[in-house]
Amino acid sequence: MEHAKAFEAKFKGKVATIEPKAFAAMMRELEDYEKSSAKPEVYAYMLHSENTQDHAAGRLLARVREAGAERSSHMVFFVLELAQITDEHAAKLYADPEAAAYRHTVEEARKYRPHQLSEPEERVLTDFSPVGNASWVRLFEELCARIRVDVDGRDLALDEALTLLREPDREVRRQASGAVTEALRGDLRTRGYIFNVILQEKAIDDRLRHFPTWISSRNLANETSDQAVQALVDAVTSRYDMCIRYYRVKRKLLDVGELHEWDRYAPIRDTTRDLTWEEAKELVLGSYYRFSKRAGSLIEEFFKNSWIDAPVVPGKHGGAYCMGVTPDHHPYVLLNFTGKLRDALVMAHELGHGLHDRLAAKQNVFDYHPPLTLAETASVFGEALTFDRIMSEEKDPKVRLSLLCGQVEDAFATVFRQVAFNRYEDATHNARRTEGELSVEQLGDIFQDKLQAMFGDALTLTDEHKVWWSYVGHFLHTPGYVYAYAFGNLLALSVYHRYLERGPEFVDDYLDFLAAGGSTKP
């Protein structure tokens, strides 16, 4: 807190016109502040992820966020003044080598000038932030983390139950799907209310900041345009026929009359392969080492130094994530490892993020993280490396067909499904702004409509599927996020194709690309 107050007293009223050498010194001082202030919140968030039902961990997270908001209130002036730097003064800064190191930060800040409020208004919003979006998201995550699914007498976490949708036995998949639906109905109206609050909060913020659409602020943060994102959406939705044709073929391969949601990821053949932790580790680590000794050694540090939290335990944050902290501190990975082959690919995905973070550690703290449009490149690339190793070692043509079908379905889930999610977000944000609060029935109907579109007549989503929107955290904690998965997947696959074309000479260029972090515009 004292650091923030001292920084404010020292630089307030000077940022927009400060001389280059002094500007560079100011930014270095701010870097030190950002590094020291980020670590407590990351620690508290990850501690809470270990057990979202632990009141002490939740209390610590709340305290850290409240203290962070108080500190940030004293830094509002900096963001506002940085955006006011003129073209002439910016050119002067860029001409100085030390100041030019922060060019990307300045350019990004200046883009927000039309969307900023006055300093008193910004400070009020900052002061209220601990009891705003973050609090509602925390409640949503805690509700999701305590969901238990009863599958044929087995008490499972949501992630464990969802893995059963990849089982070869159709009846097991159907039972698991129905059990997930039943579990999601608990607290459904509470989660629906939380979603409505966040939708309205976003609408208010967009109105105050003069963003033309609900997704414009996300696009600005992603360093892309509304037009570019719409082009992506149009390109993907115009090729839903690929997904539809595939599932028509899958229906024949499975020899069933009609496919439903529990058949989306059904294996073509019974090629169930369970992996121990050590087997999954060897598979993933070996895949990265085959690509690059440097990449492999950086990935190996995660295992050697226990930077991975993998067990499935009650109350733990669902899914998986990689937490990049600051350039001077290593990242962490959270998994929910159930011993399936798919878990190894998730491990490869998250460690791809970890590799990205480790390589970008040479960047300043402002350029450390890439925008979301690039953030999925390394993760999907890592999955591709691991999958290719699996395929190179598998000789049975029936198993290879099943593995390839699984990979196609994963690509569909990342590209078509995430864009369908984007269409759901688009519809819900716009409906909330024009119609008012949306019932859980409306939220479910919209979800069903947007998701069914990608399957056409090839696969029918039953009414039970209508509640499945209610565990997708991205809709709440980062509105507009999901299209980045499609963007990143398509980009990563094109980058991977380039690697297959160029071979070993491509490796250094790729690692240099990751090392750039968020220092340049995509």
Q: What is the pLDDT of residues 264-300, one digit of tens each?
A: 999 987 766 789 999 999 999 999 999 999 999 999 9
- Edge-first strand listing for the sheet containing 321-323: 308-309, 332-334, 321-323
Q: Which helix (H) or strand (E) holds 513?
A: helix 505-515
Q: What does the alpha-carbon distance between residue 160 and residue 337 come to, in Å, rounded to a whole number?
A: 9
pTM of the predicted model over 0.85? yes
Q: What does the alpha-carbon distance between residue 399 and residue 384 come to, in Å, rounded to a whole number?
A: 18
Q: Count how many residues are written for the chain.
A: 522
Q: What does the alpha-carbon distance between residue 340 and residue 30 come to, in Å, rounded to a whole number?
A: 44
Backbone angles phi, psi at 308, to 5 degrees: -120, 130
What six digits make up the tokens of 463?
């009414």
What string of DSSP letters covers 362-408? GS-TTSSSPPHHHHTHHHHHHHHHHHHHHHHH---HHHHHHHHHHHH
* Predicted local confidence at residue 272, as pLDDT: 64
Residues of 399-437 as b/e, b for ≥16 C-beta within 10 angstroms? Answer: beebbebbbebbbbbbbbbbbbbbbbbbbbbebbbeeee
* Predicted local confidence at residue 271, as pLDDT: 66
* Predicted local confidence at residue 274, as pLDDT: 87
DSSP letter for 438, please: P
Asked whether 478 and 133 are in contact (CB, 8 A), the reply is no
* Predicted local confidence at residue 342, as pLDDT: 87
Q: What does the alpha-carbon distance between residue 490 and residue 97 come to, in Å, rounded to a whole number?
A: 36
Cα torsion angle, 57, 369, 37, 68, sign: negative
Q: What is the pLDDT of residues 182-235, one digit of tens each?
A: 999 999 999 999 999 999 999 999 999 999 999 999 999 999 999 999 999 999
47 burial type by CB count under 10 A (0-12 exposed, 13-18 middle, 19+ buried): middle
Contacts of 131 (CB under 8 A, 6+ apart): none
Residues of 6-32 as b/e, b for ≥16 C-beta within 10 angstroms? Answer: ebbeebbeebeebebeebbebbeebbe
Q: Which helix (H) or strand (E) holds 24?
A: helix 20-50
Q: What does the alpha-carbon distance between residue 187 and residue 295 come to, in Å, rounded to a whole number?
A: 44
Q: What does the alpha-carbon distance between residue 137 and residue 386 come to, in Å, rounded to a whole number?
A: 33
Of residues 58, 51, 42, the one with CA closest to residue 322? 42
In order of their start, the domains of the chain are 2-131 (1.20.140.70), 159-272+398-485 (1.10.1370.20)
Q: What is the pLDDT of residues 444-453, one digit of tens each?
A: 999 999 999 9
DSSP letter for 460, please: B
Asked whether 333 and 308 are in contact (CB, 8 A), the reply is yes
Cα torsion angle, 286, 265, 312, 318, sign: positive
Asked whether 13 and 80 are in contact (CB, 8 A), the reply is no
Backbone angles phi, psi at 224, to 5 degrees: -140, 175
Helix count (H) and strand count (E) of the chain?
26, 5
Asked whether 361 and 329 are in contact (CB, 8 A), the reply is no
* Predicted local confidence at residue 2, as pLDDT: 84
Asked whether 392 and 58 are in contact (CB, 8 A), the reply is no
* Predicted local confidence at residue 468, as pLDDT: 98
Count Cα atoms within 13 angstroms, Cβ side, for 450.
22
**pLDDT tens string for the chain (522 positions)?**
788 999 999 999 999 999 999 999 999 999 999 999 999 999 999 999 999 989 999 999 999 999 988 889 999 999 999 999 999 999 999 999 999 999 999 999 999 999 999 999 999 999 888 888 889 999 999 999 899 999 999 999 998 999 999 999 999 999 999 999 999 999 999 999 999 999 999 999 999 999 999 999 999 999 999 999 999 999 999 999 999 999 999 999 999 999 999 999 999 877 667 899 999 999 999 999 999 999 999 999 999 999 999 999 988 998 899 999 999 999 999 999 999 888 999 999 999 999 999 999 999 999 999 998 899 899 999 999 999 999 999 888 888 888 899 899 999 999 999 999 999 999 999 999 999 999 999 999 999 999 999 999 999 999 999 999 999 999 999 999 999 999 989 999 999 999 999 999 999 999 999 999 999 887
Q: What is the CA radius of gyration of the chain?
A: 24
